[in-house]
Amino acid sequence: MCLPSTSQNLTSKPSISFVSCPVCFRNFKSENRYRQHCNAIKKYNVPHSDLDEIPVRTLHEFKNILIQQIHRQLPLSFTKIGRKALTVLCTESLFVAVFRGHVHQVSNNPRVYKCRFHGESAYSTLAQILEDPKWGQKNYDHNLQTYIVLELLNHTLYPNINNDQDNDIDPLVQLNNQKKKKKT
């Protein structure tokens, strides 16, 4: 979960090496500070004692509700595409039970939990959490589909990230190519 990446700060005269968190992209001047950050993340993912235990069936039903809410954000119209935010009201116990192990930041006042999913494994990680490999795909009549496309990280904003944008396959382009192959 917390595997550091290092980078060089090119703006200062002496060469300073930073340790960078691959999830939140914070830079740390020392490995000790980075370890403290990782230890804090471990604590965020251990439920505290005053949280209620959630039954398995309730968890499964809530995950289905989350998927339904995500599908509501997937319109068929091209005029409604773009970034979408999903807000679902739930108890703290329910959120922690669903996203345990993936909480990266917690603020205490008000109590807010933050999870970050990016990179090649983001879609599969969410599929594992939501227990549905097609959580980001909505089917319409006449074999029409809409998809969630997870945003690639910008190298100018996050120079410590090592993504190969050429390896990512756009599902719309892939579907279009399949249709062209069938015509020929």
What is the spatial distance between Cα 159 and Cα 154, in angstroms, rounded to a whole number?
A: 8
pLDDT tens for residues 9-65?
434 445 567 888 888 888 898 899 999 999 998 988 888 888 889 999 999 999 999
- Domains: count for the chain: 2
Given a cut of 80, whether residue 176 has pLDDT beyond it is no
d(CA 10, CA 90): 45
- Do 73 and 30 lie in one domain? The reply is no
Q: 69 and 85 share a domain?
A: yes
Do 75 and 163 fall within a single domain? Answer: yes
Tell me the residue type at 81: I
Look at residue 180 and tell me if it is in a domain. Answer: no
Q: Do 114 and 39 share a domain, yes or no?
A: no
pTM (global) more than 0.75: no
Token look-up 């279009």 returns 176
Residues 160 and 84 in one domain: yes
For residue 161, pLDDT beyond 80: no
- What's residue 16's pLDDT? 60
Asked if residue 12 and residue 99 are part of one domain, the reply reads no
179 falls within a domain: no
Bridge-based pairing of strands 137-139 and 111-115 is: unpaired
Q: Are residues 70 and 108 in the same domain?
A: yes
Yes or no: say if 47 and 100 are a contact pair by the CB < 8 Å rule.
yes
Indicate if 123 and 164 belong to the same structural domain.
Answer: yes
Residue 14 lies in a domain: yes
Q: Are residues 37 and 77 in the same domain?
A: no
Domain that includes residue 73, residue range = 47-174
Same domain, yes or no: 36 and 66:
no
Same domain? 6 vs 86: no
Question: Does residue 124 lie in a domain region?
Answer: yes
53 and 137 in a single domain? The answer is: yes
Check the CA dihedral 47-53-57-63 and report its sign. Answer: negative
- Tens digits of per-residue pLDDT, 130-157? 999 989 888 888 888 888 877 655 444 4
